[in-house]
Amino acid sequence: MRAATDAGFDLAGIAPVGDSPELEYFPQWIAEGHAGEMGYLEGRDEQGRLKRASLARVAPWARSVVVCAINYNTAQPYSTQVPDQSTNGQGRGWISRYAWSQNDYHDSVMQWLRRVELAVRNASGASDLVTRCYVDTGPIVERVAAKYAGIGWIGKNTCIIHQKLGSWLFLGVILTSLELEPGLPAPDRCGSCTRCIEACPTDALIAPYQLDSNKCISYLTIEKHSVIAEELRSGMGRHIFGCDICQDVCPWNRKAPATDAKEFQPRPELVNPALDWLAEISAEEFRSTFRGSPVRRAKRAGLRRNAVIAMGNSGDQKLLPLLEKLTADKDEAVAESADWAIEKLRRGAKSA
């Protein structure tokens, strides 16, 4: 679609409004507890039915879904290509590449999506046209719509994958009452590859195309605000916000191009950030550093907790004095995590 290209998107397509096998599985996924503490995924209508399980139910006026996608990959190494720098006394963490920029992608993608929406409205000429724009905020499973719009296929890591751009894609959707010609679903090109499943440190990919959020590092470091189970902490490695491992190892991302969009260019201080800095970051510095950033979603308490767990996984004995100090922190999650991290580092030193 020319309007999407003019707005700045790399891909666009039309999906029909209707149920699909993926959405039919959604209620079972919720019932099995795989959504963890993400209660917003369990939003229900007046009849108690899951909203995200049927777009036709929550938006009966909708006739088509316009799906737009933009590449956010940058010319930086993947997490799997960067060695843990703690071996030379520089304990560093890892922030998911989508959160390296100053701007929250929700805001940037929504601005571009509004331009496409305006173009659709102008082209239709219908005075009674209804449209709604969403960027991860509506009762819709975007990757399912993206599949049926021909944007890409849903990989075994549950991400949408495009044959040329890979999986580093932000998605935005426009629901419209306009009847548009839908695209064709992209064929599944994962084949027999299971690298994403094998690479997940916490075994969150419980089967091809199936994710248990309770074990996912992205969920643990961003969405989970209660205590993280000890058996999952070692698998978190040095990740402090999100995780890209299942995408980093995907063969379709080997030649993924870097974006030219200035909105997604990385801030150097957020690529491999210092763990000691984040573990002690003040409320004021957190606000100023991450103003407008997706990292705000983890909140200061969550980010500090994650940094302390990463310190325990770092193997860097030079972090022990700071961890000793943090055992008396006012934040109970930070203090408890510091106790765990100290024990982990000392066990590592004895076995070395």
227 vs 219: CA distance, rounded Å: 13
- Please say if the pLDDT value at position 199 is more than 50: yes
Query: How confident is the model at residue 126, as a pLDDT?
Result: 84
How many H helices and E strands in the chain?
14, 10
Q: Is the dihedral of CA 253, 3, 100, 139 positive or negative?
A: negative
Q: Are 183 and 149 in contact (CB under 8 A)?
A: yes
Q: Are 184 and 66 in contact (CB under 8 A)?
A: no
Query: Among all residues, which ones are annotated catalytic?
Result: 136
Tokens describing residue 260: 């030219």
- Please list the helix, strand and coil fractions of the chain in percent, rounded to the nearest 5, in that order: 45, 15, 40
350 vs 196 pLDDT, higher one: 196
Q: What percent of the chain has pLDDT over 90?
A: 81
How far apart, in whole angstroms, are the C-alpha atoms of residue 242 and residue 223?
10
How confident is the model over 146-198, as pLDDT tens digits? 999 999 999 999 999 999 999 999 999 999 999 999 999 989 999 999 999 99
Q: Which residue has the tokens 């935005």?
A: 172
Instruction: Give this prediction's pTM.
Output: 0.93
Going from the C-alpha of 57 to that of each of 24, 63, 173, 254, the distances in angstroms are 13, 12, 17, 40
Q: Are 142 and 173 in contact (CB under 8 A)?
A: yes
Mean pLDDT to the nearest integer, 57-86: 88
**Helix axes of 332-351 and 299-314: crossing angle, nearest 10 degrees:** 10
The structure tokens 């189970």 sit at 229
* Residue 15: strand pairing partners: 65
- pLDDT confidence bin for 90, thresholds 50/70/90: low
Buried b (16+ CB within 10 A) or exposed e, 27-48: eebbeeebbbeeeebeeeeeee
- 89 band by pLDDT with thresholds 50, 70 and 90: very low
Q: Residue 194 in contact with residue 156, Cβ under 8 Å?
A: yes
* pLDDT value of position 88: 45
pLDDT at 113 over 60: yes
Name the E strands within the chain: 11-16, 64-71, 94-95, 131-134, 153-154, 160-161, 169-176, 205-207, 210-211, 239-241
The one-letter amino acid at 202: T
Higher pLDDT, 348 or 8: 8
By C-alpha distance, which of 216, 220, 143 is closest to 185?
Answer: 143
Task: Name the percent of the chain lying above pLDDT 70.
Answer: 97
